[in-house]
Amino acid sequence: MEESRFATRMHGMAGDAIWELLSLTQQPDVISFAGGMPSPDAFPHEILAELAGELLRNQKTTVLQYGQSEGYFPLREWIAQWVRRKGIVATPEEVIILTGSQQGIDLSGKIFLNPGDKVVVESPTYLAAINIYRMYDAAFVTAPNDDVGLDVEALEAVIAREKPKLIYLVPTFQNPTGRTLPRERRQVLGEMLTRHEIILVEDDPYTDLRYEGEAVPAIKSFDTTGQTIYLGSFSKLISPGLRVGFAIARPHILRKFVLGKQTTDAHTAMLSQALVYEFCSRGYLDEHLKRVCAMYDAQRLVMKEMIERYMPKDIRWSQPEGGMFFWGELSVGVNAKELLAKAIKEKRVAFISGESFFADGTGQNTLRLNFSNSSPEKIEAGIRALAAVFEEHM
């Protein structure tokens, strides 16, 4: 069948570079820093097994019947309370449960974007967001950066000039850079929103994986006019396989999210939603997060140490205080994709070259390393092997 028979939005759509690479890197002899997966050792499977048995035996209609597109109401209530610690004030009715928070990016495109509408993204930004907004024929505008990260004052000039419809940000432990937008800039950004007709999509799946430093409030907490759509996820906290995320937005926007969700998957799997609710509302989450954060912090520190000890000194590395990633900038002219091919072939070690994270086609000299899904032993061996490849071919 000719490509022309498909919708224009599909033309040139390649697969998500990460999903494509994942199958390669799942071979058991490969040490992979490529994906963005939690560690299987971080899954609370014994507790979930108990809860699933109980739910299926005692609440069969809740977990097996059709549910509302808005989501399971007790979970919406619990989330509305829980996000107060991030500074967000919301009613349960302002929460919609999603099939992973990625669905929230898709729905923001669906309800706001006409072909050609502009979307501001960071450079680099979350890869899937680029692919998703591309499906809605968005035009990308790059958000300006300085050494700290997003330059919110320069951003206002961009907004005034380009009139974008959406801003998409991962402000905390960003994927891919691990960077966090400081509190003051969040405040400036939140206040700036009120001066423009614009929607901010604040994608925040990593914020509860903080290993050092002080928590910062969500940008949404500084937004007094309800222009922020906050996206959260249980994928990195409990399990990605359950596919439970959420969006928080004012009622007039949330209503459109509900309509958009009705016409895609009707509602998110009820057993998944009820499992997350029981896990959280019975108080397991806080204990669990302490354990997971201690584990990931140890992995982060080993990776940091190995990078400092073995990696060539002319690579600039991010210093993440949380999340799952280190970000490296090689000297200009060095091609990370070529290094990746050599690393897989020569040493059976994988990472992600960074160019897919740039909506503007730059970033060939960048790379992302994931530390959440490898043991300290594998991190030690893998970084030493990678450093040798880099040393030889750079």
Handedness of CA 180, 185, 191, 195 (dihedral sign): negative
* Helix pair 270-281, 73-82: axis angle to 10 deg: 40
Nearer to a copy of itself among residue 180 and residue 273 (C-beta): 273
> Is 8 near a copy of itself (CB under 8 A)?
yes
Nearer to a copy of itself among residue 129 and residue 302 (C-beta): 129
> Is 232 near a copy of itself (CB under 8 A)?
no
| Omega before residue 176 within 30° of 0, cis | yes
Of residues 339-358, those binding a copy of itself (CB under 8 A): none
| Omega before residue 115 within 30° of 0, cis | no
Shortest Å distance, C-beta 274 to a copy of itself: 9
* Binding segment toward a copy of itself, per CB under 8 A, in 54-62, 336-344, 346-354, 376-384: 54-62
> Is 231 near a copy of itself (CB under 8 A)?
no
Determine the Cα angle at 209 with ends 272 and 181, to 5°: 120
Of residues 81-110, those binding a copy of itself (CB under 8 A): 98-100, 102-103, 106, 110
- CA pair distance 328, 177, nearest whole angstrom: 8
Among 33, 67, 201, 387, binds a copy of itself (CB under 8 A): 67
> Is 23 near a copy of itself (CB under 8 A)?
yes
Residue 327's SS3 state is strand
Binding residues with a copy of itself: total (CB under 8 A): 81
Q: How many Å from the N-terminal Cα to the C-terminal Cα in the chain?
A: 43
- CA pair distance 160, 196, nearest whole angstrom: 8
Per-residue binding string, a copy of itself, 131-170, x by CB under 8 A, is xx--xx----------------------------x-----
- CA pair distance 369, 374, nearest whole angstrom: 11
> Is 112 near a copy of itself (CB under 8 A)?
yes
Determine how many CB atoms are found less than 10 A away from the CB of residue 332: 7
Of residues 172-201, those binding a copy of itself (CB under 8 A): 197
> Is 312 near a copy of itself (CB under 8 A)?
no
Shortest Å distance, C-beta 86 to a copy of itself: 23
Of residues 239-298, those binding a copy of itself (CB under 8 A): 239-243, 252-253, 256, 258-260, 262-272, 275
Beta pairing, strands 316-317 & 325-329: antiparallel
